[in-house]
Amino acid sequence: MRTVEWCDGALKMIDQRALPWKLEFVRLESVEAVAESIRDMTVRGAPAIGAAAAFGLALAARKSETDTIDALISDLRKSGDLLKAARPTAVNLAWAVEKLLDIATSGEFSHPDDLRQILLAAAQQIADDDVAINSRMGAHGAALVNDGATVLHHCNTGALATVDYGTALGVIRAAFEAGKHFHVLLDETRPRLQGSRLSAWELERLGVSYDIIPDTAAGYYMGEGEVDIILVGADRIAANGDFANKIGTYQLAIMAQAHGIPFYTVAPTSTIDLSLSAGKQIPIEQRDPAEVTTPYGNKIVPARFKARNPAFDVTPHRYLSGIVTENGIARPPFAESLQRAVAGDVL
């Protein structure tokens, strides 16, 4: 079951806002609807929104009524800007859009219908590649999870955050499928509760042992000696290894170092942004404060109370034990190993 897939001329995706109570699907028939689905987190997770954006641009090409290549490219550029603005932190979104725009502007097409067909095929290839890449990352990372270990995980990085299989939860899945026995502590991941809503739903379906814990309890369990390794995802990784991930990741990294616990992020090379020298250059999405004060419509404080809601934080590379990619595990110095990973070298 894929998180996003092309179906009868439209984009079909799991509505992640309804989980874990209902497994529902939405059908999107315009690039505007795809952009809104990314913005309101109907679909979320860096690889998943990258694939969704690629399909969104292919959809924009099919819906454009222009009959010239130049006019179609103009429409695609506007649609690409709309998609990239939906969520600015995750580089996979912009990567997928630019990949399709590069095809469109290659000068290889003289008829719009030919380009429309190729763009849909390219979007489908991005989706298919994501599944294969995640499987390879899982195989590389599974060796990090020892039999009998307790793994701490933040946010949701499973099949729901990708087209299928997952990144950090994909490593956990691969270790489980290899026959290892271990336990997972899931940070609830406020304010949108991706850990308690989505990661728990996925692990339950897989049959993996888990407990949901409050975000603020992570340090307690580290101090009690109950955490052996921490695995998280990433939305953008700078050239030096600094990375942006769901808010709350930075504090986990600091506590992990204080307790001598290995700390890894798991992400495809499409998440690595070599154009940024350091994490301070990564744009951080600021979301609606109502997600903090009124999560999922539940008022927990008076409306007059003020709040702030950064969606991500940046973890400096000095806290990382390694970065699991589809080409192996990048280790310090990351400025060298990430260059090799992006180039396709086996690490």
**What positions carry a catalytic annotation?**
235
**Cα distance between residue 46 and residue 272, in whole Å:** 11
Residue entry with tokens 């101090």: 223
Selection from 149, 297, 303 nearest residue 231 by Cα: 149
**Cα distance between residue 9 and residue 17, in whole Å:** 24
| Token reading at 161 | 């955050």
Residues 134, 123 contacting (CB under 8 angstroms): no
Residues 6+ apart with CB under 8 A from 320: 241, 243, 253, 263, 264, 265, 332, 334
**Cα distance between residue 23 and residue 6, in whole Å:** 18
